[in-house]
Amino acid sequence: MRDFELNLTPEQESKKQYEYMEKAKELVSIKEKELGRKLTFSVVTFGCQMNARDSEKLVGILTEMGYVEVEDEHADFVMYNTCTVRENADNKVWGRLGYLQSYKKKNPHMIIGLCGCMMQEPGVVEKLKKSYKHVNLIFGTHNIYKFAELVYRCLSSNKQIIDVWKENDKIVEDLPIKRKFKFKSGVNIMFGCNNFCSYCIVPYVRGREKSREPKDIIREIEGLVADGVCEVMLLGQNVNSYGKNLDNPMSFANLLREVNKIEGLKRIRFMTSHPKDLSDDLILAMKECDKVCGHMHLPLQSGSSRILKVMNRHYDKEKYLDIVRKLREAIPDIAITTDIIVGFPGETEEDFEETLNVVKEVEYDSAFTFIYSKRTGTPAATMDNQVPHDVIKDRFNRLLKVVQEISAKKAKSLEGKVVPVLVEGLNEHDDSLVTGRLENNLVVHFKGTEDMIGQIYNVKLEESKGFYFLGGIV
């Protein structure tokens, strides 16, 4: 039965889920005694930072139940948190499910679960019911807070549990989270998206925008700082529209100002920022707030105003370039990164050339470049003039070449500078080095030890290697 049918408040729902964690813990304990060992789990994340944060909630709840996390999928409970932004993400999941079927034959009590955006796609659940009967648990994006209850149902039943909702306006706070990093954390400030870009499946699978209350966000970050976190990433599909649906509306710019006041917090990042909602006040807040990193991820998608209109992006090339100008006037050293789609339906060579021109004019520090992926259910999927694959591939390679040349030039210009760097871990290839991240999100390797992880040091960028630096502590 749906929780909103029971009219539970978010606080009551949270309490109920903790009760299910205890019930599940008892069943896990019984199974452990039967097998003579601890039960293990693996949560595999596909997709964006929002999914990564959701996965930390899944990990926290399974840990609370007594499961022990392992690195690979030879586990007693395997959970896939899926993405559906591009077709390739779906294909990865279907492929992995085939492997898990053979694992389950060797470990019959294994539980396989699927959640996330892919589960909200039309036809996916029916395909799972028909062809992937070895999957035990299926739920979507709207009821992740009921994970404990769903796991308990799995443990106490041999039936396939399916609970995918079309919508939900409830935000349930205070459930267990186990962070991947001790020193940094994502923080959801809102959920869903109202933009309906014509190529994007997200509004259909994540639902309408819902903002968290500022007091809950501040309380969460204060708790994170008390637990050793020095950097937070504020997360939303479009953070610039934060707060519009609150009873007492608050702009994202003012939320940034409030977060900046938190003692002990050293760095604030955020994503994603939609150009159509980026206000002058947000630029001012970034300039004013000393903890906000000098980095703006500002998706372009296309440099052609004609294509942007068909994409339903609600800005044109001129407005985008005006935002970039304002950002650089206010924060001269700001790093600007972007997303670009190549081969959107109807894209001509002239449209593509406009994209190249914007890339050259803005000179992005880096760019995520994507080949257009047709997503069933979006307006773009049924548009005429789908661009031939060989044309798309040629344009993609030309774009990538320009992007990489500019990125290398921008990185080279930082050589010799001393910048603050957050140490994130030991270098994977040389344990005499540590790896840290600059405010602009680039990486630097330098001499250091494990006890430096989670601290910020002033580092001289001695040599650019294109996508990373070699440096030394000053």
Kindly state the tokens that stand for 447: 């001499």
- The percent of residues above 90 in pLDDT, for the chain, comes to 88
- Predicted pLDDT at 85: 84
- Predicted pLDDT at 3: 44
User: Which residue blocks in 107-136 are alpha helix, DSSP H?
Assistant: 124-131
Residues annotated in a binding site? 48, 83, 117, 193, 197, 200
- Predicted pLDDT at 6: 58
Residue at 4 is within a domain: no
Q: Is 89 left (phi over 0), alpha (psi -120 to 50) or beta?
A: alpha
The boundaries of the domain holding residue 438 are 415-473
- One domain, residues 29 and 81: yes
Q: What total number of domains does the chain contain?
A: 3
Residue at 120 is within a domain: yes
Q: How far apart are CA 93 and CA 76, in angstroms?
A: 18
Residue whose entry in the numeric block shows the structure tokens 């501040």: 218
Residue whose entry in the numeric block shows the structure tokens 């028909």: 130
- One domain, residues 314 and 437: no
Q: What 3-state class would DSSP assign to 290?
A: coil
Nearest to 362 by CA among 307, 408, 309, 303: 303
Kindly state the tokens that stand for 325: 């100008």
Cβ contacts of 93 within 8 Å, gap of 6 or more? 46, 80, 82, 114, 118
- Predicted pLDDT at 152: 97
- One domain, residues 191 and 42: no
Question: Which regions in the chain score pLDDT beneath 50?
Answer: 1-5
Residue at 92 is within a domain: yes
State how beta strands 210-211 and 190-191 pair: antiparallel
Round the CA-based radius of gyration of the chain to a whole number and report it. 23
- One domain, residues 381 and 446: no
- One domain, residues 376 and 291: yes
Q: Could you write out the DSSP letters of every residue in 235-267?
A: E-TTGGGTTTTSSS---HHHHHHHHHT-TT--E
Type of residue at 438: L
Q: CATH number, domain at 101? A: 3.40.50.280
Residue whose entry in the numeric block shows the structure tokens 């009551």: 12
- One domain, residues 428 and 312: no
- One domain, residues 426 and 467: yes
Burial of 124 (0-12, 13-18, 19+ CB in 10 A): buried
Cβ contacts of 414 within 8 Å, gap of 6 or more? 461, 464, 469
Cβ contacts of 139 within 8 Å, gap of 6 or more? 113, 114, 115, 119, 146, 147, 150, 161, 162, 163, 164
Residue at 465 is within a domain: yes
- One domain, residues 266 and 377: yes
Nearest to 153 by CA among 41, 23, 54: 23
Q: What is the end-to-end Cα distance of the chain in Å, rounded?
A: 60
Residue at 171 is within a domain: no
**Separation of CA 121 from chain center:** 19
pLDDT digits 0-9 by tens, 254-273: 999 999 999 999 999 999 99
Helix axes 10-35, 49-64, angle to 10 degrees: 60
- One domain, residues 407 and 430: no
Q: How far apart are CA 373 and CA 381, in angstroms?
A: 9
CB 471 within 8 Å of CB 454 = no
- Predicted pLDDT at 470: 97
- One domain, residues 120 and 253: no
Give the count of beta carbons closer than 10 Å to the beta carbon of residue 396. 19
Give the count of beta carbons closer than 10 Å to the beta carbon of residue 167. 9
* Phi, psi (rounded to 5 degrees) for 253: -60, -45
Residue ending a domain, among 128, 163, 198, is 163
- One domain, residues 157 and 27: yes
Residue ending a domain, among 398, 413, 428, is 413
Residue at 179 is within a domain: no
Residue whose entry in the numeric block shows the structure tokens 């007492």: 248
- Predicted pLDDT at 5: 46
Residues annotated in a binding site for [4Fe-4S] cluster? 48, 83, 117, 193, 197, 200
CB 459 within 8 Å of CB 446 = yes
Give the count of beta carbons closer than 10 Å to the beta carbon of residue 300. 24
Nearest to 313 by CA among 325, 323, 299: 299
**CA angle, 186 as apex, 181 and 190 as ends, to 5°?**
160
Q: How far apart are CA 471 and CA 464, in angstroms?
A: 9
- One domain, residues 27 and 132: yes
Q: CATH number, domain at 408? A: 3.80.30.20
Burial of 342 (0-12, 13-18, 19+ CB in 10 A): buried
Q: CATH number, domain at 429? A: 2.40.50.140
Residue at 371 is within a domain: yes
Residue at 5 is within a domain: no
Type of residue at 81: N
Residue ending a domain, among 367, 391, 413, is 413
Provide long-range contacts, Cβ within 8 A and 24+ apart, for 119-122.
119/82, 119/164, 120/84, 120/164, 120/204, 120/205, 120/206, 121/84, 121/90, 121/201, 121/205, 121/376, 121/377, 122/376, 122/377
- Predicted pLDDT at 170: 84
